[in-house]
Every structure is written in structure tokens, then in C-alpha cells.
Amino acid sequence: MLMDEGELMKKAGTLTEALGEVVSPYFSHTSRMTRSKFSRSEEKMKNQPQETLSEGDRVQLSRLKPKIKSDPDDTAVKNVVKRKHVPIQYETEVKVKKEPREHSEETPWEPLNWKEQLLNMHEMRKNKDAPVDVMGCNKLQDDDADPKVRRYQVLISLMLSSQTKDQVTSAAMMKLRTHGLSVPSILQTSDKKLGDLIYPVGFWKKKIIFIKNTTKILEQKYDSDIPPTLRELVQLPGVGPKMAHIVMDVAWGELTGIGVDTHVHRICNRLKWVQKPTKQPEDTRKAVEKWLPRDKWREINVLMVGFGQQVCLPVGPRCHECLNRKICPHGKGVVKSPKNSPAKKSKPS
């Protein structure tokens, strides 16, 4: 009779050393607790009579696979978890962190071709035959008069010139000088008489009030002279920044800024001498002074005013005659003169 499976397992434990079998390397990693179980089984089997295995028992024993519990602490028999292989990519180029650059002053903005444009304007104005050249505010004072009177006349001529053509301003100044253009003389002149003398300058009624009030301040505060600073000049009635800068230049010989009137304002915007379009002459002055060299400031007013009177007109500019027509953003591409429309024949009376 063949032995059952339990008896075969018991005999296998007692006969392991007797048969001289070598334990498989797989089982050599089992814990001591597992081996101790076999040791205790051996001690029990020593007291029992040994039986000789038959040939059939040996064959059956060889077919059995021992069932051994794995110890939870035994890492050798744990299942291996397969992980997804992730390929390692190496950068071919080593990126070096750039050090921050040292702060440096940015190059100030300046318009394209401004030097050539300025030279061309000088070339077109070389004859100095524009109204501003003979009737400008720097030409209307009496240079032989007392210095205080002369400076006062410069101020009055500029107050009259606002929104007024040079020809009209010049005519009014000639009448005032004939009447007597000084602080005491104007204070003794009635408003009606003063209006007759300065008419028809622009806003002549308002200018009567400005001239009278300013003249009173000069007598009371400046000993019949004009203020020597820009800050004080702009505080006078009827005196704006453009007038004040020109007064400081012509009357005191001190350059404080560019005198920007409607002509200078218009031309600077047409030439793109301002980084962004400006709406007021004072905005234009600030924008141009940021980049234009200071040694060019004094020439700009008379140069551009005359250029605006003769070539760069407010309406219908003569771009076809302008040397800047190919480098002027406003007149670029205008190379031919406009066709003159035939004159209309008058009907016979």
C-alpha cells in the first residue's frame, strides 16, 4: 500500500540528512522559523521506528512539490513589481544662466533724418525773406531806447503777436512806438486809445486788459522793468510759455527753452519730430527738447516760423517745392507740383 501524502512529508523531513540531499538554493533563503518546524518534526520522528521506503514511495515522493509558507519578512520571496521603463534623455546643450546686465542709460529717442531735414530748412531759408525775418518780435523794439524800455517793448510785441500775423503786429507796434511805448506812457493811456492803437490784432479787446494789468505789475513790483526769470514771466496776465521763452532769449539773452508757436507745432508734427502726435504747442516743446541738442534750440523758432510762412503752409503746403519731400513723413512721395486750375473768366458787365 502506498503511503498517503501526509506520511510521506513526515518521512521526507527525517530522511533529508540520511539521503544526503542538497537543499535547493531557492529554499536556502527561507527563514529560521521555517527550518525550525522541520527540526521539531525530526525530533518527533526520532522516537518513532524508522520505516524503509519502498520503490513506489520514493517515486511518489520525488513527484511531490513541498508547499512552504513564505515569511512576510522574507524579501527574497516577494513578488517583483515590474515598472514601466522610462528612457533617460540627456540635453546635448548645456544652458548657462546669464548674469543680469548692468543698468545703463538708454539711448534717447530721436527722429529719423532730423539732421538732414534741419539742413534742408536752413537751405530753403537762406534768403531770410519771410515776414518773421523783417517783422518778427525780435525786430520791433527800439534798440536805441533805455534797456528797461527796450525789454518792455519786447514783451508787449510778443503779447500782441498771439493769434496775429506778423504784418499786423508790426503795424500795431509802429503806432505804439509813435505814441510812446513805455510803462509810464501806457499807464496814462486810456483803454479806448490803446484799443485804437493796437486794432486789429487778434483778441484786441482782451489784450487791452492784459497790457494794462501787466504794466501796473511791472511798475509796482519790478521798477518798471520786466521779470528776469521764466517763472515770474508766466505769472503775468496774458503771458504764456512760448512768449516767456522768447522774452528770456531776446530781452535777457538767456536760453530757457524753445519758443513753440502754431508754425513750429505744426511742422514738428509733420516731420515726426515728436515721438507721439501732440495737440498743444507746449507739449511739442517738451517732446522736442528731450532729444534736440540744446545748441539748436535758439534757431528753431525763427527758422520754422519762416518755413511755415513760405513752404509748409497750414493749408495746401508746397510739398513739391520742399527739399524734404522725400524724407518727410507728411509729404513723402509728393514730387510733382499740383495742377493749377484755369482761371475763371469774368462775365462781361
Interatomic CA distance for residues 99 and 330, integer angstroms? 44
What is the Cα–Cα distance from 282 to 286, expressed in whole angstroms?
Answer: 6
Q: What are phi and psi of 47, to 5 degrees?
A: -80, -15
What does the alpha-carbon distance between residue 164 and residue 136 come to, in Å, rounded to a whole number?
Answer: 11
Find cell 522559523 and name the residue: 33
- The number of C-alpha atoms within 13 Å of 39 and in the hemisphere containing its C-beta is 6
Q: Is 46 a catalytic residue?
A: no
First-to-last CA distance in the chain? 160
Q: Report residue 107 as a C-alpha cell.
A: 539711448
Find the catalytic residue in 67, 128, 221, 242.
242
Spatial separation of the C-alpha atoms in residues 308 and 173, rounded to whole Å: 23
- Burial (Cβ within 10 Å: 0-12, 13-18, ≥19) of residue 280: exposed
Catalytic residues: 242
